[in-house]
């Protein structure tokens, strides 16, 4: 409600802008993990993202040569203002989960005139909204390292190319370490990347595929939202299992 009330202040009557009047066309460039940089203009929908999310918000002014400009960025999290900055552009990395609203305002003095943006331009085009999702990390109870191309690696659920891949994979994980032990407590394998499928355990030890049976997984990880994961579970190795036999997933 607070942000809605704040935005209503920008609904004052607009003056018709001339081609030589200063104007802002703000946009944001953000870099989702393991994806290409994405650009969005103010007001355009941004899909929910995982943290950390490095972002740069650009005021993108035009016709401001010789003008005195002051920019104000205000960042809200869950409708509460968390900080303001007086910079032409704003660099910020979103870490915690939540709903963010980013507002930009500008006061431009040019040729003895004062322009307040966006109030003098219709009161629109200065709002960005970004949602940072909660972190997630889960592991299966079994996998089948038999070279059939499915579930050949012990990895976090949803890490391609498993059959469960999709939007249910790990997200927002900034620190990660996993270790596999055999029943005698001997370390078999460890890895530090929960997003790359082949970084997981391929079911081998000493160059040979291990025997079917129960092994033990220990995972310590941390999400960008501050959640700490301490996973300890038994993992069944099933080399004789082939998914194409019944379509089930171990």
pLDDT in tens, the chain (250 residues): 445 444 444 433 344 555 788 999 999 999 987 688 999 999 999 988 888 899 999 999 999 999 999 999 999 999 999 999 999 999 999 988 899 999 999 999 999 999 999 999 888 899 999 999 889 999 999 999 988 888 899 999 988 765 444 567 888 898 999 999 999 999 999 999 998 888 999 999 999 999 999 999 999 999 988 899 999 999 999 987 666 554 444 4
**Residue 201 to residues 78, 163, 169, 172, 173, Cα–Cα distance (Å):** 40, 17, 17, 21, 19
Contact 152, 145 (CB under 8 A): yes
State the sign of the Cα–Cα–Cα–Cα dihedral 31, 135, 234, 152. negative
Find out whether the peptide bond into 52 is cis, omega within 30 degrees of 0: yes
Spatial separation of the C-alpha atoms in residues 186 and 203, rounded to whole Å? 14
**How many residues does this entry show for the chain?**
250
List the one residue out of 16, 28, 30, 79 whose CA is nearest residue 57: 28
The H-or-E segment that residue 3 falls in is: helix 2-8
State the sign of the Cα–Cα–Cα–Cα dihedral 174, 166, 54, 81. negative
The owner of tokens 């997984």 is 217
Structure confidence at residue 159 (pLDDT): 82
Domains 2-132 and 142-245 share a fold: yes
Give ∠ CA 159-161-165 in degrees, rounded to 5: 50
**Domain segments of the chain: what residues?**
2-132, 142-245
Spatial separation of the C-alpha atoms in residues 142 and 164, rounded to whole Å? 13
Q: Specify the pairing of strand 68-77 against strand 80-85.
A: antiparallel
Q: What's this model's pTM, rounded to 2 decimal places?
A: 0.69
Structure confidence at residue 248 (pLDDT): 43
| DSSP symbol at 8 | H
What is the residue-wise DSSP string for 197-233? GGGSB-SEETTEEPPSEEEEEEEEEEETTS-EEEEEE
Q: Tokens for 58, please give them.
A: 């650009």
Q: What end-to-end distance do the CA atoms of the chain give, in Å? A: 48
CATH fold of the domain at 2-132: Immunoglobulin-like (2.60.40)
Return all residues near 178 (Cβ < 8 A) that are at least 6 apart. 190, 191, 192, 194, 200, 201, 217, 218, 219
104-116 residue pLDDT tens: 999 999 999 999 9
CATH node for 142-245: 2.60.40
Spatial separation of the C-alpha atoms in residues 234 and 239, rounded to whole Å? 16
Structure confidence at residue 7 (pLDDT): 46
């Amino acid at each position: 409600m607070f942000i809605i009330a704040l935005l209503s202040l920008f609904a004052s009557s607009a003056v018709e802008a001339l081609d030589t009047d200063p104007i802002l066309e703000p946009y944001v460039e953000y870099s989702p993990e393991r994806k290409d940089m994405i650009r969005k203009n103010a007001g355009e929908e941004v899909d929910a993202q995982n943290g950390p999310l490095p972002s740069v918000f650009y005021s993108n002014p035009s016709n401001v040569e010789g003008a005195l400009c002051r920019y104000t960025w205000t960042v809200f999290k869950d409708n509460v203002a968390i900080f303001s900055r007086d910079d032409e552009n704003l660099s910020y990395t979103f870490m915690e989960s939540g709903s963010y609203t980013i507002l930009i305002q500008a006061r431009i003095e040019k040729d003895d005139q004062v322009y307040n943006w966006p109030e003098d331009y219709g009161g629109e085009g200065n709002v960005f909204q970004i949602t940072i999702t909660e972190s997630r990390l889960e592991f299966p109870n079994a996998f089948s390292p038999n070279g059939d191309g499915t579930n050949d690696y012990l990895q976090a659920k949803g890490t391609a190319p498993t059959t469960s891949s999709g939007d249910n994979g790990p997200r927002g994980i900034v620190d990660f370490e996993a270790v596999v032990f055999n029943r005698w407590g001997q370390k078999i394998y460890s890895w530090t990347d929960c997003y790359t499928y082949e970084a997981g355990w391929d079911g081998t030890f000493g160059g040979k595929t291990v025997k079917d049976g129960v092994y033990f997984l220990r995972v310590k990880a941390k999400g960008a939202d501050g959640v700490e994961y301490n996973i300890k579970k038994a993992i069944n190795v099933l080399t004789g299992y082939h998914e194409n036999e019944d379509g089930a997933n171990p």
